[in-house]
Chains A and B, each alone.
Chain A
């Protein structure tokens, strides 16, 4: 039984068809890396799964429930699937702790004390328990991204979507974020990540999806995709000849 079922998903922006019929099934606990050139549609696909973009045709099912574009269905979906962004998108007017507490208290109506306890646990989990009262602009990029991960985890999602979460970070900060993701993967969290970290994709992911011009061009285990690319486009993307 798949956790996320993406079937024949198509999406266009004006004349530009960004997704030309995508099919991917994600099993529970799978860690999937989506790679490809910019403009290949990988970020759009991720945003469609979370309902940030509407799809033109096809269907997306998460844990058996169909993704429909009305507010009620979207909210139900978003409680199951968390998302982490390239630009962190922490709420700058709230402390790290409040960032993690907000959606719990507002969306899930969790009592404040409980939400705070959860926030402390989640911040501890990403190694930032001591930064509970720090504002986002007092944190480094890597720390901000870890808070964003804690914020998503506090909603207890069954899957996480990661949209190039290390691309806006200085090189020396990339690792601390990837370590957190790696731990999540080891704990059995289902992860769908768009990434440029090829080594990480090779080490941690169970499957790799190579997207090219709005289609899934190759899909398979990392050893196959990286070790034995079949299509010239993937070979060129990986720089092997």
Chain B
């Protein structure tokens, strides 16, 4: 029987952690772009888009991410489309992230005082001009801390993609455990690596919240 050193374990986990990082980045950036589209559908003037975006957000927030991964992975398979696990994982996470970010950002836009809309209206600005020059620059400032905070959820969410066979950190942990029979050591390292990834994010979210100190800068 082969002996595994601690370094062997850690090295393999770290190599797999690259995929966790890449998947997190793709989900977060892709989710941000889709989320922005959903946000505008949600707060825009078209009733149809309002309703559609609400249904989208409710569905994705109201079902477990795991089910969404299953549906993306197996669901499309039913139609004869062979979806590789990395694609299903990326798509499901992007859509899931988009739903949450859209809702977080909607809160930020609605936090801008009504007087800002009225003042800019009274100066003759149209909806898009108000958004572009008055509302979004202020909402953006409020949005930074919760958005960075949510990125922690995205990183942890990637762990679920191990179930559909995407080899990221958690899946690698399972594989290494099966080879070494040392679950406590392996999963201990896995947890530690997740923590090392997430801790700077949540810390920087707190830091940004203090630095932007939005609550007190508005009037």
How many chain A residues touch B (CB < 8 A): the figure is 29
A93-B138 contact given A52-B118, A136-B219, CB 8 Å threshold: yes
B124 touches A (CB below 8 Å): yes
Residues in chain A near residue B115, CB distance under 8 A: 85, 87, 89
B116 pairs with A89, CB closer than 8 A: yes
A103 pairs with B120, CB closer than 8 A: yes
- The chain B residue with its CB closest to the CB of A79 is B124
From the candidates B118, B125, B127, B218, name the one contacting A103 in the complex (CB within 8 A): B125
How many chain B residues touch A (CB < 8 A): the figure is 22
DSSP class of B's interface residues: helix, strand, loop or mixed? helix
A83 touches B (CB below 8 Å): yes
Residues in chain A near residue B129, CB distance under 8 A: 106-107
A82 pairs with B122, CB closer than 8 A: yes
From the candidates A75, A89, A93, A137, name the one contacting B119 in the complex (CB within 8 A): A89
A237 touches B (CB below 8 Å): no
Q: Considering residues A50, A102, A151, A155, which has the most beta carbons from chain B within 10 angstroms of its beta carbon? A: A102
A106-B125 contact given A93-B138, A137-B217, CB 8 Å threshold: yes
From the candidates A50, A71, A90, name the one contacting B122 in the complex (CB within 8 A): A50
From the candidates A71, A89, A90, A91, name the one contacting B118 in the complex (CB within 8 A): A89
B121 touches A (CB below 8 Å): yes
Residues in chain A near residue B134, CB distance under 8 A: 91, 102
A107 pairs with B125, CB closer than 8 A: yes
A102-B133 contact given A85-B119, A92-B138, CB 8 Å threshold: yes
B126 pairs with A75, CB closer than 8 A: yes
CA distance A79 to B119 in the complex (A): 13
Residues in chain A near residue B138, CB distance under 8 A: 91-93
Within 8 A of A (CB), among B97-154: 113, 115-116, 118-127, 129, 133-134, 137-138, 141
Extra 20 A-B pairs, beta carbons < 8 Å, given A83-B122, A89-B113, A103-B125: A51-B121, A71-B127, A75-B126, A78-B122, A78-B124, A82-B122, A85-B119, A89-B116, A92-B138, A92-B219, A93-B137, A93-B141, A103-B123, A107-B123, A107-B124, A107-B129, A108-B124, A136-B219, A151-B123, A155-B124
By a beta-carbon cutoff of 8 Å, the part of chain A in contact with chain B is 50-52, 71, 74-75, 78-79, 82-83, 85, 87-93, 102-103, 106-108, 136-137, 148, 151-152, 155
Across the A-B interface, the 3 shortest Cβ-Cβ residue pairs: A89-B119, A103-B123, A89-B115
By a beta-carbon cutoff of 8 Å, the part of chain B in contact with chain A is 113, 115-116, 118-127, 129, 133-134, 137-138, 141, 217-219
